[in-house]
Structure 1
Amino acid sequence: MAETDRFTRNALSDWMKGEGPESDIVISSRIRIARNLQSYPFPMLATNQQSKEVLAKVANLLSNEDLSEISRFTLLPLSELSELEKKVLVEKHLISPALANESRNGAIILSDNESIGIMVNEEDHLRIQCLCPGFQIKEAWDLASRIDDIFETQLDYAFDEKRGYLTSCPTNVGTGIRASVMLHLPALVLTQQINRILSAITQVGLTVRGIYGEGSEALGNLFQISNQITLGQSEDEIIDNLYSVVRQIIGHERAARQRLIQETKVKIFDRVSRSYGTLSYAGIMDSKEAAQRLSDVRLGIDLGFIRNVSTRTLNELLVMTQPGFLQQSAGDKLTPEERDIRRAQLIREKLSRPTGNEH
């Protein structure tokens, strides 16, 4: 399906091609809003007919003039996607693993540049997601809030005067928003400060996850920090709290990088160079090693040790080296060993291209 190909053939979403504020440390900022429709059971309890009706109501909104001013949107029913296509969309952070596994009238609505994704009939009837490059959590919130306001004028949301927006999971009741920031924190890991800082984060109502959210590992020194509390705080309070804490973490990471340069410059240069050399010439590479070595190279770029590779290339490799995308690009299912060979090949090819030739 041509529409699906547009979103699954390219590893890098258009919104990730530009560099946002603090992009040497902050990969991306995301807002996700959970909403449900009054008079319909939550998706897990809804009948096939009820979930069809919810999808139809949401699909009808795509012709809304106010929504059209924001972007052109494409609706992709999950039933029309292959397992591999769904896996790629998960790897690009455009849908959740939960939606990928949901077969009953689930759908994703994507903006042309993929910065906006609206999941239908996942854990909640609606999950509106907005992504921005770099540290732009407030900008992501403004965009998500604008879309939410348009929807709320057309749909009857499930809302309680005392509890706020009602959601399938009690932890989302209230504002229904999750604000998160993806950070690359190699210096805090190398200077062994990371555990102390992450522990402090949990004391102020925030939570830390890996690159693919809840239950995932923090591969490649990538950490996702998000609010844990949605009830009893306003949307602005949630955003401001996260913004303030992330700003402090950025400061700590910068100080740690400076310390590495001052105290262990030769060792860090050696580490970065070895990882770059391995990525440039290895014939086989598993996902864990690839993530770690790509993290080293990213740090090397930020410290000025490596000048012929762009962070955009590394952002692309984050997705290209994932199992689903590897198999999609190969046009066939691959064994784990075949994936490791293919991964090494893609990395070699990507790193051999001069920075100026990226399109």
Structure 2
Amino acid sequence: MMSLRLTRGILKNNAIRSYSRAPCEIIEILESGFETLSQSKSKSLLKKHLTREILDKIKTKVTPSYCSTLLDCIQSGLCNHDSGVGIYAPDPEAYSTFSELFDPIIEDYHKGFKKADKHPATCFGYGSDFPNLDPEERFIVSTRVRCGRSLKDFPFNPCLTKKDYRHLECMITKVLKTLCNDHAGKYLPLSCMEPEQQQKLIDEHLLFKEGDRFLQDANASRFWPTGRGIFINKNRTFLVWVNEEDHIRVISMEKGGDLGRVYERMIIGVESLAHSLKFSHDKRLGYLTFCPSNLGTTIRASVHIKLPNLGADRAKLEELANKYNLQVRGTAGEHSEAKGGVYDISNKRRLGLTEYQVVLEMHKGISALIDAECQAGSQK
């Protein structure tokens, strides 16, 4: 059996995909990683659901078209025991090839979406269905709604070649140039961006950045910055990220708590792209994404919200948020702290509901948190 240090060293070499390794080496790494994860204090869904029985059943499988192995799926979770999920799909076929592991993780994360369940057809509804959550602007700093899309007939990041990245970028930006009115804007490729401009956009929470260890260890940062970039409209309220975690991330955002207006802008944007681009979609799982947490609608509706009273007891805040299927993160997102009592709170469920139901669930949950924050403040 390999030593822990050697195993982690091999896993961390994210320039190498597993198909370049001998099958016996892949199995040896999987076995060593499994033993280490089993003995760890990890609370990841990977540790919870990767049993010896499942490992033995799927450790020699590969996806038909892209030759992805189980190691390609779980190497990030084996390297990072503090992962929440710990598994990614290197290509669309991984969800079926390694279904013995993906299905229970999906069911756990998406609150009971079972193997026999089927994701409903797309139904966005209308932004006008959702009134402003904070018209007096006492709590909500900003609102953001995003969705992810992957292009049909392409694998996900770990399997993309440099040529694939460039081809995807060309296809996507060609369509972005056709957007008009409020959505019209400019595409900025990372490969041509000055470091100062890049940092400024990152500081303004508009642009993604390299260096996420969870994505790097999943081989999702290969050939950086080739094929990556950001599209920004004139008002900086509509963004499209190209080839970050998914092929496309459509983002609508603005200051304040007008969720309906933000959501409507996102709907128009993603529907406009859908007229010219074919997205990867599964009859059971909905829109397919790199991370199983984003399957289905792929929608994440979030607010930056000031909750000084509820936030004084993080455990109680988490408990209340869980009641409404909301996820609590720090100001800068996952694995960050809440600065100045400002939390990033979003819907947790994206699969098994329509887009309309996802946003409605989030709207009701944020409303309840604001009510609880007011009550907590009045009791002081």
Residue number among 317, 323, 338 corresponding to 1:218 in the alignment: 338
User: What residue number does 1:61 align with?
Assistant: 175
User: What residue number does 2:326 align with?
Assistant: 206
Deviations 1:334-357 (A, max 9, x none): xxxxxxxxxxxxxxxxxxxxxxxx
Q: Distance in 1 between matches of 2:313 and 2:281?
A: 42
Q: Distance in 2 between matches of 1:63 and 1:209?
A: 34
SS, match of residue 319 in structure 2: helix
User: What residue number does 1:238 align with?
Assistant: 358
Residue number among 178, 199, 202 corresponding to 2:300 in the alignment: 178
CA contact (8 A) 1:118 1:129 kept: yes
CA contact (8 A) 1:207 1:225 kept: yes
Deviations 1:71-127 (A, max 9, x none): 331111011223343232122111223599741210000011111110001111100
Q: Distance in 2 between matches of 1:54 and 1:61?
A: 11
Q: Which amino acid aligns with 1:141?
A: Y
User: What residue number does 1:327 align with?
Assistant: none
CA contact (8 A) 1:22 1:134 kept: no
CA contact (8 A) 1:208 1:223 kept: yes
User: What residue number does 2:347 align with?
Assistant: 227
Residue number among 183, 207, 225 corresponding to 1:71 in the alignment: 183
Q: Distance in 1 between matches of 2:310 and 2:350?
A: 29
CA contact (8 A) 2:142 2:305 kept: yes
CA contact (8 A) 1:138 1:239 kept: no
CA contact (8 A) 1:177 1:235 kept: yes
Deviations 1:293-318 (A, max 9, x none): xxxxxxxxxxxxxxxxxxxxxxxxxx
SS, match of residue 86 in structure 1: helix
Identity of aligned pairs, percent?
28
Residue number among 271, 280, 284 corresponding to 1:162 in the alignment: 284
Q: Which amino acid aligns with 1:195?
A: A
SS, match of residue 94 in structure 1: coil
Deviations 1:14-58 (A, max 9, x none): xxxxx9724220011111110010111213321111111111111
User: What residue number does 2:195 align with?
Assistant: 83
What is the CA-CA distance between 1:170 and the residue it aligns to?
1.0
Q: Distance in 2 between matches of 1:99 and 1:121?
A: 15
CA contact (8 A) 1:187 1:256 kept: yes
Q: Which amino acid aligns with 1:91?
A: D
User: What residue number does 2:237 align with?
Assistant: 115
Q: Distance in 2 between matches of 1:194 and 1:170?
A: 26
CA contact (8 A) 2:310 2:316 kept: no
CA contact (8 A) 1:20 1:133 kept: no
CA contact (8 A) 1:75 1:109 kept: yes
CA contact (8 A) 1:99 1:122 kept: no
User: What residue number does 1:15 align with?
Assistant: none
Residue number among 24, 34, 38 corresponding to 2:152 in the alignment: 38
Q: Which amino acid aligns with 2:358?
A: I
CA contact (8 A) 2:150 2:279 kept: yes
Q: Distance in 1 between matches of 2:361 and 2:231?
A: 30
Q: Which amino acid aligns with 1:181?
A: V
Residue number among 52, 60, 67 corresponding to 2:166 in the alignment: 52
Q: Which amino acid aligns with 1:72?
A: A
Cα pair distance change 1:119/1:245, threshold 3 Å = same
Normalised by the length of structure 1, the TM-score is 0.62
CA contact (8 A) 2:324 2:362 kept: no
Q: Distance in 1 between matches of 2:314 and 2:245?
A: 32
User: Which consecutive unaligned segments of at least 5 residues does structure 1 have?
Assistant: 1-18, 261-359
Q: Which runs of 4+ in 1 moved over 6 A?
A: none
SS, match of residue 74 in structure 1: strand
Q: Distance in 2 between matches of 1:252 and 1:200?
A: 9
Cα pair distance change 1:248/1:259, threshold 3 Å = same
CA contact (8 A) 1:173 1:230 kept: yes
CA contact (8 A) 1:164 1:175 kept: yes
Q: Distance in 2 between matches of 1:87 and 1:138?
A: 30
Q: Which amino acid aligns with 2:180?
A: S
Q: Distance in 1 between matches of 2:342 and 2:230?
A: 26
What is the CA-CA distance between 1:157 and the residue it aligns to?
0.6
Q: Distance in 1 between matches of 2:242 and 2:158?
A: 12
Normalised by the length of structure 2, the TM-score is 0.59
What is the CA-CA distance between 1:62 and the residue it aligns to?
3.0
What is the CA-CA distance between 1:194 and the residue it aligns to?
4.8
**CA RMSD for the aligned pairs?**
2.1
Deviations 1:118-154 (A, max 9, x none): 0001111100000022112222111111111111110
Cα pair distance change 1:96/1:77, threshold 3 Å = same
CA contact (8 A) 2:330 2:344 kept: yes
SS, match of residue 216 in structure 1: coil
Q: Distance in 2 between matches of 1:97 and 1:71?
A: 23
What is the CA-CA distance between 1:259 and the residue it aligns to?
4.0
Q: Distance in 2 between matches of 1:20 and 1:49?
A: 46
Q: Distance in 1 between matches of 2:342 and 2:246?
A: 27
User: What residue number does 2:247 align with?
Assistant: 125
Q: Distance in 2 between matches of 1:188 and 1:231?
A: 28
Q: Distance in 1 between matches of 2:295 and 2:210?
A: 19
Aligned residues, how many? 238
Residue number among 241, 246, 255 corresponding to 2:375 in the alignment: 255
